[in-house]
Structure 1
Amino acid sequence: MRRYVLTGTPGAGKTSLLHRLGELGHAVVEEAATEVIARAQAQGEDEPWTRVSFIDEIVALQRQWQQEASGAAALQVFDRSPVCTLALATYLGRPVSRTLGAELERITSEEIYQRQVLFIRNLGFCEPTSARRISYQESLVFEKVHEETYRELGYQLIDIPADAMPHRLATVLSVIAPPMS
């Protein structure tokens, strides 16, 4: 099974790329952090990321979705991974919880994700949403934290530069599903 991760700064276009891949018939898994935030905000909690349990909730949902997708297809694409959650914890100044540490150990020992990670570069702006309240300047810092975190853990970043969607999609497809020769 090949599981690829799309990562990068908020607002870089990861979810748009993921949806296009899904439309093309690829098995895709949405971003867990956005779902955790949406669920909490639907219950009236404005800033769930301030909760101590926030990081662990993301990890639990990532693990659940990864395990549910296990037999779905031989090729899967994930919008973020627990390595991204480590980057988020680092960015927020949070310690690595036991839950996050255990999940990072599991994905490494079980080789859950491909070592090649699709690093979606920022588009030169960052549109705020109810779940994304980060300035463009902050997003650049967050992008750097993601890059450093993946590299420190031995992942190879495949750069997907800012470009029109068809070009970015073609670059992603050339990595995950290269044409047969």
Structure 2
Amino acid sequence: MDRYILTGAPGAGKTTTARLLAAAGHTVVAEAATDLIEAAQADGQDAPWEQAAFCEAIAALQRDRQIAADALPGPVQYFDRSPVCTLALARFTNQPVGPALAAELDRIRTERVYRPRVLMLDLLGFVVPTAVRRVDLAQAQRFEDVHVQAYTEHGFTVERIPAAPPRARAALLHQLTCRESHA
């Protein structure tokens, strides 16, 4: 099975593109952090990413979702973020790397869980703030740099996906990954 990581700074259009891939019948594993933020906000916690245990919770959910995805159909899977993204978030928010995140980073490296090429969607030139996404464009650009550094440090090749309409990006991702998985 070929597992591809989709990443990018907040507001890059990653989740929108991932949803288009899913709508076209591809296996897509949803982003853990957004789901955890929305659940915490529904419980009255405004900024859960400020909690030291937040990155640990993301890493645990990412592990559970990745393992559960082994039962899903299709030779190609797209993951909306990975534990390396969680490492980037920890660094960006000055949170510690706890034992769950450290173990998950080690596991994905030693088990070679994901393809070594991460697909990074470039920023669109603007960021639309939401309750979950509270960064401006300058912060998103810095966060993007932290992602590139984290992925490079962990042995991934970062392939940049240029800004484009979501359908064009989804088509490009499908073309890149299907061609590679059939090679």
Please say whether Structure 1 and Structure 2 have the same fold, judged by a TM-score greater than 0.5: yes
Name the residue aligned to 1:148. Answer: 149
Name the residue aligned to 1:75. Answer: 76
Gaps of 5+ in 1: none
Runs of 4+ in 1 over 6 A off after TM superposition: none
- State the AA in 1 paired with 2:22: G
- State the AA in 2 paired with 1:68: A
Name the residue aligned to 2:116. Answer: 115
In the alignment, the residues of structure 1 paired with residue 152 and residue 170 of structure 2 have an alpha-carbon distance, to the nearest angstrom, of 23
Name the residue aligned to 1:139. Answer: 140
- State the AA in 1 paired with 2:71: G
In the alignment, the residues of structure 1 paired with residue 100 and residue 62 of structure 2 have an alpha-carbon distance, to the nearest angstrom, of 12
In the alignment, the residues of structure 2 paired with residue 175 and residue 4 of structure 1 have an alpha-carbon distance, to the nearest angstrom, of 11
TM-score (norm 1): 0.96
In the alignment, the residues of structure 2 paired with residue 19 and residue 54 of structure 1 have an alpha-carbon distance, to the nearest angstrom, of 25
1:123 CA drift (Å): 0.2
Name the residue aligned to 2:163. Answer: 162
1:64 aligns with 2:53: no
In the alignment, the residues of structure 1 paired with residue 152 and residue 42 of structure 2 have an alpha-carbon distance, to the nearest angstrom, of 35
1:1-181 to 2 correspondences below 5 Å: 1-73=1-73, 74-178=75-179
- State the AA in 1 paired with 2:91: T
Kept in 1, the 8 Å contact 2:120–2:160? The answer is yes
In the alignment, the residues of structure 2 paired with residue 66 and residue 130 of structure 1 have an alpha-carbon distance, to the nearest angstrom, of 26
CA-to-aligned-CA distance 1:118-166 (integer Å, 9 cap, x gap):
1100000111111111111100000000011101111011110001223
Equivalent position SS for 2:179: coil
Indicate the percent of aligned positions where both proteins have the same amino acid. Answer: 45
TM-score (norm 2): 0.95
Gaps of 5+ in 2: none
1:95 CA drift (Å): 2.3
1:178 CA drift (Å): 2.2
1:52 CA drift (Å): 1.3
CA-to-aligned-CA distance 1:48-74 (integer Å, 9 cap, x gap):
111111010101111111111112132
In the alignment, the residues of structure 2 paired with residue 166 and residue 57 of structure 1 have an alpha-carbon distance, to the nearest angstrom, of 32
In the alignment, the residues of structure 1 paired with residue 95 and residue 51 of structure 2 have an alpha-carbon distance, to the nearest angstrom, of 11
Of the structure 1 ranges 148-157 and 170-179, higher mean CA displacement relative to structure 2 is found in 170-179
- State the AA in 2 paired with 1:58: I
Kept in 1, the 8 Å contact 2:5–2:119? The answer is yes
